[in-house]
Amino acid sequence: MDQLKRIFASLTLKQRITIALAALAVGCGLYYFVNWNSERQFKDLYTRLSPADAGAVVQKLKESGVDYRLTNSGTTVRVPADKADGMLVQMASAQLPRSGRPGYESFERPSFGATDEEIKSKEKWALEAELERSIRTLEPVESARVHISQPKDSVFIESRQEAKASVIISLRSGAKLAPQSVMGICHLVASAVPQLASESVSVVDTQGRILHSPRKAGVEGGIEPPESSLEFRQKMERDLINKIGAALEPVLPPDRFRAGATVECDMSLVEQTDETYDPSKSVMLTSQQTEDAAGNTLAAGAPGTAANLPRPPQRPNGGATGSTRKTQNTTYQSSKTLRHVRVPQGVVKRISLSVLVDQNVRWEGTGTAAKRILEPPPPETLKKYRDQIAAATGLVPERGDQLIIESLPFESTLNLQAPGLPVPQPPPAAPPQTFPIPPALQKYLVGVNAGILLGVAVTVLLLVAGAVFLLVRLLRKKKKVSAAGFTALPAAAGGDGLADIQQKIAQTAADRERMEAEAVAALRLGPAEAKSSDVMMKHLRQLSKENPQAMAQLLRTWIQESKR
């Protein structure tokens, strides 16, 4: 402990600050590692919650006595991994989270005194909430928002408004919504809203990309927008190329032919009405016949009372006049044919197809003297290919459709190696350099983030570098103190001490020379060559003569160290 105190007392202020900062960094790293290790036991229960849903979930967790963590600004709720499944079941039984706006459950609470307008608005909000919940059941969708515009009726045609809807979708990380799923969302919304067509539903994601846009009604001439026409043409061309591939793949490998297609379509909407009359075919529609008869009888007999008695006298016959009229009206009409034709958009005007077939290779000779000979397919084979493609794609020559089949050698065919020659192999890939991890540490490093491990490693390296730096500084300081002691001689050193030291040095040198001479005589060798020890002794003698005080201080230091 005393030695540590002396070391700490010998440090400068800068060194003490460095050690304090290093200790603080180590403490922070250990705290973060321990905290991360404890947080690793937690699992995400819900992510991207609204503030209302997050509050309801947290309240339920508090009632259940389950520990939790809130991250990502309170939008993510984490619970211990061993309790996550159970809490999901409990949250589902409590109908949590409610996913933002309430749906039709809002009608469970009766509201007295509500007007018709308030009830209609509430129904629209509930329908939007239910549609949002239905859309969120799709796998790629994380959240959704639906807005509905109800239709507006009016006695004036120009004031009528159709129903519309807009959907905003937030996708999961790395997920992609297929076009079929987008159309499914449009039909789902259109089926739930009265008088709403799927073409009037717009779908947008959170990045602002338009996934489905409503068609513009009343486009001049019934022409589709350019982007829709281009997509339609490209789809038809892909279908034709796939049909060509399906027709040729049984007889040709996919890498032996290439196909292309161009389709010209009429995207205008045409309506035609034909009314035809046939005078040779006439039929009776109506026949009307009338007959009128009218007559007048003249009075006869004697006037007076006798004529009015019960038995009047016989009257003589009087004169009579009358008329008869007959009318017949028959209506005939010629045969009429009425035909109303509506030509849909996208009628094919012409199809152009091209197919390029690879040639065969035949080799004459072997080894390096082999000669490549290219052989195109025979005309009979190309004719069979033509007939097969024409039947599969439905070509109509009268419409102007054309099909071109040519045979040319492909680049891969021209680069073929002759048989018998060694094929150059690519050099094997070097195995990745991996650092072996001891088995005892593998169980602690499962699921550990690489960034955290890198941070811990950098912290440890910094600590080691700091310790080495401080040790080197201490050693340099100690050497400087020793050198200063050698040069700074005490003033009390007298001449007697110096004489004794010089005498000891001379005696030691004489003894060394005597021992070396005896050893040389015993070995009966010639005069020995100069050794490094002799050279060093000469330098010491010269140094003692030039600076005797320094040599005296050096010997004094050696004597003190030997006594210790």
Q: What is the pLDDT of residues 30-47, one digit of tens each?
A: 777 666 666 667 888 887
Average pLDDT over residues 209-222: 65
Average pLDDT over residues 176-180: 88
Calculate the average pLDDT of the chain.
77
What is the percent of the chain with per-residue pLDDT over 70, rounded to a whole number? 72
Q: How confident is the model at residue 190 (pLDDT cuts 50, 70, 90)?
A: very high
Average pLDDT over residues 215-219: 53
Three-class SS state of 202: strand
Dihedral sign of CA atoms 72, 74, 77, 78 in order: positive
**Domains observed in the chain:** 15-99 (3.30.70.1530), 104-215 (3.30.300.30), 235-268+345-415 (3.30.300)
Distance CA 40, CA 69 (A): 12
Under 8 Å between Cβ of 57 and 91: yes
Structure confidence by residue, pLDDT tens digits, 75-102: 888 888 888 888 888 888 887 776 667 6
Under 8 Å between Cβ of 541 and 505: yes
Six token digits for residue 7: 């070391």
Q: Where are the alpha helices (DSSP H) in 68-158?
A: 84-93, 116-136
Q: So what's the pLDDT on residue 167?
A: 94
What is the percent of the chain with per-residue pLDDT over 90, rounded to a whole number? 17
Under 8 Å between Cβ of 263 and 240: yes
- Is 262's pLDDT higher than 90? yes
What contacts 470, CB < 8 A, 6 or more positions away? 11, 15, 18, 19
Q: So what's the pLDDT on residue 491?
A: 42
DSSP secondary structure string for all residues of 298-353: PP-S--SSGGGSSSPPPPPP--EEEEEEEEEEEEEEEEEEEEEEEEPS-EEEEEEE
Nearest to 188 by CA among 132, 253, 230, 265: 132
- Is 451's pLDDT higher than 70? no
Structure confidence by residue, pLDDT tens digits, 536-551: 677 677 777 777 777 7
| Threshold 0.75, pTM exceeds | no
Nearest to 470 by CA among 462, 481, 480, 482: 462
Residues in the chain: 564
Under 8 Å between Cβ of 145 and 168: yes
Pick the more confident residue, 441 or 372: 372
Under 8 Å between Cβ of 46 and 57: yes
Pick the more confident residue, 217 or 13: 13
